[in-house]
Structure 1
Amino acid sequence: MTIKLYNTKTRRKEDFEPINKDDVRMYVCGPTVYDRAHLGNARPVIVFDVLYRLLRHTYGPDHVTYVRNFTDVDDKINARAAESGRSIGEITAETTQWFLDDMAAVGALEPSIKDRDHDRAMPRATQYIAQMVTMIEDLIAKGHAYAAEGHVLFAVESYSKYGALSGRSIDDMIAGARVEVAPYKRNPMDFVLWKPSDDATPGWAGPVVGGKSIGRGRPGWHIECSAMAHDLLGATFDIHGGGNDLMFPHHENEIAQSTCAGHDFANVWMHNEMLQVEGKKMSKSLGNFFTVRDLLDQGVPGEVIRFVMLSTHYRKPMDWTEKKREEAEKTLRKWRGLVADIEPAPSPAPEVIEALSDDLNVPGAMAALHEMAKRIESFQRSDVPHELMAAFIGSAHLLGLLENSAAAGGWVLEPHLTDLAMRRLLINIAEELHEARMTAMQTKDFAAVDEMKMALQDAGVEVRMSQESVDLIAGPDFDPAKLEALK
């Protein structure tokens, strides 16, 4: 089946045709490692993890290269080191591992490269300074960059297509952007490729200009991805991804410097939309800012975070709400109950592959999963068709769900919940309790409701009630025999 992807560069959905089907190559911009990953940071990781899984399914796991970098040289890192009194190396090592742990918790596969060298698939910027210096020197030699007061800057006017990715003219970008207007810049939009370092700041030997080193310094942000992508994926590769907040200036600048260095760079550019919380932009000032680790520490399984993220198409804003979290938890508990102790050879359903192949239509794939779950529930457990269960499990795995991974956390249900009839009993009791509660709201007599709740709690069932529904969750001490009186 042909995969179609929306290409930001051409602003249309296109058939995806890899340069080499034996080595499909994708680069995704990774984090600057100075703190915990916030919830918005998880969205591109999950989006491109699904694409990675689809590419592996389509072309074979050994024929897909996925690179995602770590920015470990940055002024934010320097500032954090100065604030804390800790070394830069200690901070970046710790926060890099935090990121890997948190992304594993939401079910993301680690990037990989053909030779299976994971360090190369997750490169650190500090490991590629030499490649950055070489690219900067090449840009200077070709007249696309210039040295000024210890800096090297890219001359945006030397690249006629600057702004094509984001659809902005240079004049518009100057008017709308917060750019550093320094006296040594020829044009306000010229961006830094190299800047000087003092004794307290990390630094390396700089590019050679006119036979002389420009001096000790460090790279600008944009040059690192161009240098690493070229070194690891070649002058031209298939897909470059990231959040749409990176489209300008980061990706715009990557294209400019890479193209001017003689590299065709990425054929397809993909960008996910941003995340909101309860309909508002996530912000510390609004009190709705939290990290992935915050949610995990509150007991929200990573699989729930992933499920909520998958509920919205990647090119639309994603709104994290408490209601969506609750619904995701309820659905995943039900789905894990359906597949407990069943291990058919997974084989994704054609309708799920078709949805994902249509520009990662994950909501469409999730709708197909919901429909398969309903069909499974319509059978007695022993009568569920093998092909249906295999398609359900295989489809879920393709989306990174229902796997026995770090994201599962405590979700793998105990054997007492593998009985489909018992699950149906709990559903029926929940419906009866909801009806009893609605009646009690009218009569103001809650005696029957309280009696049912006490019987459920005595049987080891947690009762969660809202105006819309009742959710019953069987705990580790669940004793189904004590539910006889409620049948």
Structure 2
Amino acid sequence: MLKIFNTLTRKKEIFKSIKKKKVSMYVCGVTVYDFCHIGHARTFLFFDIVYRYLNNIGYYVKYIRNITDIDDKIIEKSKLKQLSIKKFTEIIINKMNLDFYSLNLKKPTLEPRATDHILDIIQIIDFLLKNNFAYILNNGDIFFSIKNYKRYGELYKKNNNKKFFFKQENDFVLWKKSKKEENFWDSPWGNGRPGWHIECSAINQKYFKNTIDIHGGGNDLIFPHHENERAQSECFKNINFVNYWLHTGMIIFKNEKMSKSIGNTFLIKDLIMYFHSDSIRYYFLSTNYRHPIYYNIKNLKNSEKIVKKFYFCLNIFKKINTNVCLKNSSYFYLFKKSMNNNFNTPVALSILLKLSKKIIFYYEKKNFKKSKYLSETLLYLGRILGFFSKKFNSFKFNKKNETKLNEKIKKIINKRNKARKLKLWNKSDLLRNELLKLGVNIKDKKIL
């Protein structure tokens, strides 16, 4: 019996889908103004596991992950690049798809873009205006009024203080009147473009119509994004918007939340150059999805050693059965028990590790039949978690990764030494941070 921790109720609940053996799942996707970072990797790897596991236990999952392809940052970046918004976002979306492919993420059922749903957005805003849930400012912007939605703040629960929420400054934008030379769409209220939160409500309404089983994202989205999305959606339909809210924890680097805004992010495209995608997957799944992860290159290297061990166990036999029957397997029972306990991937991974040790033990004892059966079990359970993808031609590991990493470290050290000699201290500090991201902590000697 699957139990899920629901952010709204702050407790684990038995999962019951609205429709028998069918699940509706929506995850807030990427705002495509820059390359994807490892915070994205953490969130979307987790929901990839949710998607895979629900499929494995017999559910058909309609999984929607939106793409935000219009907002202030996108407009700014496209101007800097001297590209149209459409061309700029297309480039970033292609890069995003490459990143997600390299991490072996399953494609969602649908990946709708905000700009393809302007009419749906206008329909909701029109209803909210007519029913006094929204109002128009003198400058033409349209805002949602939170005072008329009495459940506002339930998801975030900031000190359980209603006064914190029910202030006019917490009202949020639904539609922005366009400035000169900005992209715009026609609406009953003049030329403009949608606010951020409204796109998710419109996309959910378009493809799911009513209550959704699962809605998720990073826990930085709980407030204001998910709180606002819930408010406008429930005012529009007058029904419960979502049954189970799931949120992943943040990545911490040098005691700070990893964030593009403070410039301490590490990009997926860089990480995948030095580590196998299964090593990255293992690293993120080895911490409970709700807890923060303290980014540490040493832990990534340890994950890589474990994954190499898995591949060794699968590679000692020329051919292993990919359709092994596990009905009476204690490993399968323990694996399923851990995953049914709110997707407890750290425990699930510990079962794979035990399996790998037993495979080697029986192989060395020349009990090849037992060793091979356990290899088949490892392959089957690993694939539920997205390891050992069919896209890899063999189980051989890319040994060039470590060499590439060492070469990059040497280049950064050389650049930093030159910067220090020229007393370019700001540049030197930036390069030190780059080295720290790669697990290298330098102790400087005084420059004479």
Mark yes or no: TM-score above 0.5. yes
Q: Which residue of 2 aligns with 1:393?
A: 379
- The answer to whether residue 200 in structure 2 is matched with residue 236 in structure 1 is no
Normalising to structure 1: TM-score of the pair? 0.75
- The answer to whether residue 370 in structure 2 is matched with residue 384 in structure 1 is yes
Runs of 4+ displaced beyond 4 Å = 283-288, 408-411
- Aligned amino acid, residue 396 of structure 2: V
Q: CA–CA distance in 1 between the matches of 2:393 and 2:311?
A: 12
Once the two structures are superposed, the pairs formed by residues 46-445 of structure 1 within 5 Å of their partners are 46-60=45-59, 63-112=60-109, 121-149=110-138, 150-168=140-158, 169-173=161-165, 187-206=168-187, 213-262=188-237, 263-277=239-253, 280-282=256-258, 288-297=264-273, 299-340=274-315, 341-344=318-321, 345-346=323-324, 349-380=332-363, 382-405=368-391, 412-413=396-397
How far residue 278 of structure 1 moved from its aligned partner, in angstroms, is: 5.7
- 8 A Cα contact 1:152 1:193, kept in partner: yes
1:82-124 alpha-carbon deviations (Å, 9 max, x no partner): 1111111111111111111111211211111xxxxxxxx1000
Q: CA–CA distance in 1 between the matches of 2:261 and 2:133?
A: 41
- 8 A Cα contact 2:250 2:258, kept in partner: no
Q: CA–CA distance in 2 between the matches of 1:266 and 1:285?
A: 30
Distance 1:17 1:286, change over 3 A: closer
Q: CA–CA distance in 2 between the matches of 1:409 and 1:103?
A: 19
Where structure 2 has 5 or more consecutive residues not aligned to the other structure, the ranges are 327-331, 399-448
Q: CA–CA distance in 1 between the matches of 2:111 and 2:340?
A: 26
Q: CA–CA distance in 2 between the matches of 1:285 and 1:225?
A: 23
- 8 A Cα contact 2:248 2:289, kept in partner: yes
- 8 A Cα contact 1:308 1:320, kept in partner: no
Distance 1:285 1:191, change over 3 A: closer
- 8 A Cα contact 1:107 1:306, kept in partner: no
Q: Which residue of 2 aligns with 1:460?
A: none
Q: CA–CA distance in 2 between the matches of 1:355 and 1:83?
A: 48
How far residue 403 of structure 1 moved from its aligned partner, in angstroms, is: 1.9
Q: CA–CA distance in 2 between the matches of 1:22 and 1:134?
A: 31
Q: Which residue of 2 aligns with 1:430?
A: none
Q: What SS does the aligned partner of 2:117 have?
A: helix
How far residue 346 of structure 1 moved from its aligned partner, in angstroms, is: 4.5
- Aligned amino acid, residue 261 of structure 1: F
Q: CA–CA distance in 2 between the matches of 1:143 and 1:284?
A: 37
How far residue 277 of structure 1 moved from its aligned partner, in angstroms, is: 3.0
- Aligned amino acid, residue 163 of structure 2: D
Distance 1:334 1:201, change over 3 A: same
Where structure 1 has 5 or more consecutive residues not aligned to the other structure, the ranges are 113-120, 175-185, 207-212, 415-487
CA RMSD of aligned residues (A): 2.1
Distance 1:28 1:347, change over 3 A: farther
Q: CA–CA distance in 1 between the matches of 2:48 and 2:210?
A: 23
How far residue 279 of structure 1 moved from its aligned partner, in angstroms, is: 5.1
Q: CA–CA distance in 2 between the matches of 1:335 and 1:369?
A: 8
Q: What SS does the aligned partner of 2:387 have?
A: coil
Q: CA–CA distance in 1 between the matches of 2:222 and 2:15?
A: 21
Q: CA–CA distance in 2 between the matches of 1:123 and 1:377?
A: 46
Q: CA–CA distance in 2 between the matches of 1:101 and 1:272?
A: 22
Q: CA–CA distance in 1 between the matches of 2:253 and 2:142?
A: 40
Distance 1:339 1:128, change over 3 A: same
Q: CA–CA distance in 1 between the matches of 2:80 and 2:268?
A: 23
How far residue 284 of structure 1 moved from its aligned partner, in angstroms, is: 6.8
How far residue 265 of structure 1 moved from its aligned partner, in angstroms, is: 1.5
1:313-367 alpha-carbon deviations (Å, 9 max, x no partner): 0011012211111111111111111112333115562211111110010001001
1:179-200 alpha-carbon deviations (Å, 9 max, x no partner): xxxxxxx921110000111242
Q: CA–CA distance in 2 between the matches of 1:367 and 1:258?
A: 41
How far residue 252 of structure 1 moved from its aligned partner, in angstroms, is: 0.2
Q: CA–CA distance in 1 between the matches of 2:370 and 2:190?
A: 70
Normalising to structure 2: TM-score of the pair? 0.81
Name the stretch that deviates more: 383-392 or 325-334: 383-392
- Aligned amino acid, residue 148 of structure 2: S
Q: Which residue of 2 aligns with 1:25?
A: 24
Name the stretch that deviates more: 388-397 or 8-17: 388-397
1:174-230 alpha-carbon deviations (Å, 9 max, x no partner): 8xxxxxxxxxxx921110000111242111112xxxxxx210000000000011011
Distance 1:284 1:272, change over 3 A: closer
1:372-414 alpha-carbon deviations (Å, 9 max, x no partner): 1111111127333554222211111011112233xx5986359
- 8 A Cα contact 1:147 1:153, kept in partner: yes
Q: CA–CA distance in 2 between the matches of 1:192 and 1:396?
A: 44
Of structures 1 and 2, the larger Rg is shown by 1
Q: CA–CA distance in 1 between the matches of 2:78 and 2:261?
A: 24
Distance 1:41 1:377, change over 3 A: same
Q: CA–CA distance in 2 between the matches of 1:195 and 1:347?
A: 57
Q: Which residue of 2 aligns with 1:454?
A: none
Distance 1:346 1:252, change over 3 A: farther
How far residue 293 of structure 1 moved from its aligned partner, in angstroms, is: 0.6
Q: CA–CA distance in 2 between the matches of 1:283 and 1:249?
A: 17
Q: CA–CA distance in 2 between the matches of 1:243 and 1:285?
A: 16
How far residue 171 of structure 1 moved from its aligned partner, in angstroms, is: 3.0
- Tell me how many residue pairs correspond in the alignment: 383
Q: What SS does the aligned partner of 1:111 have?
A: coil
Q: CA–CA distance in 1 between the matches of 2:192 and 2:184?
A: 4
- Aligned amino acid, residue 355 of structure 2: M
- Aligned amino acid, residue 14 of structure 2: D
Q: What SS does the aligned partner of 1:379 have?
A: helix
